[in-house]
C-alpha cells in the first residue's frame, strides 16, 4: 500500500490593498472580494501571513491619506492580526508595536524595532525614541 503525498499547506501573503479594501469597504467590486477572503482568514479556513512591511504600509495609508486616528488604526489591525487563520511567527511583536503606536506619537517602524529588541537583538539608532520605548539599544 502506497501513501499519497501530502499537499503543501497554502499560506496566503496578504497585500496592503486587500486589507484596506476590507477595512474601508470603499470599492464596489474589490471590497466584497476582500471581505469574503478576510472572513475565511478570520474563521481559519484560509491560512495567511501579514508581513510587517504590509502593516507599516497600512498604517501610513490609513493615517496620512484617510486621516484615521492612531488608536482606531491600531485596534483594526490588531483585530486582523488575531484572526484564527493568521500565522505570523512575529505576531506578538506586531501586536506589541501596534499597542505602543496607538498610545504614543512614535513612528510605527520605531515601535516595531523596539518590540523586536532583546538582550540578543540590540537596536542601533540615533533616534531618542528608542529610550522612551525602553528598547534594548546601544548608541553608536
- The 10s digit of each residue's pLDDT in 71-104 is 999 999 999 999 999 999 999 999 999 999 999 9
**Rounded Cα gap, residues 76 and 89, in angstroms:** 20
- pTM reported for the whole predicted model: 0.89
Q: Name residues whose C-beta falls within 8 Å of residue 39's C-beta, 6 or more positions apart in sequence.
A: none
Amino acid at each position: 500500500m502506497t501513501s499519497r503525498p501530502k499537499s503543501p499547506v497554502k499560506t496566503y501573503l496578504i497585500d496592503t490593498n486587500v486589507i484596506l479594501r476590507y477595512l474601508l469597504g470603499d470599492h464596489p467590486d474589490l471590497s466584497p472580494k476582500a471581505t469574503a477572503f478576510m472572513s475565511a482568514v478570520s474563521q481559519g479556513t484560509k491560512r495567511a501571513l501579514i508581513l510587517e512591511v504590509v502593516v507599516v504600509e497600512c498604517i501610513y495609508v490609513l493615517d496620512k491619506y484617510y486621516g484615521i486616528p492612531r488608536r482606531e488604526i491600531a485596534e483594526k489591525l490588531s483585530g486582523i492580526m488575531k484572526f484564527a487563520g493568521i500565522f505570523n511567527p512575529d505576531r506578538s511583536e506586531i501586536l506589541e508595536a501596534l499597542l505602543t503606536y496607538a498610545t504614543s506619537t512614535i513612528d510605527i517602524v520605531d515601535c516595531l524595532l523596539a518590540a523586536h529588541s532583546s538582550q540578543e537583538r540590540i537596536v542601533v539608532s540615533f533616534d531618542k525614541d528608542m529610550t522612551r520605548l525602553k528598547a534594548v539599544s546601544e548608541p553608536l
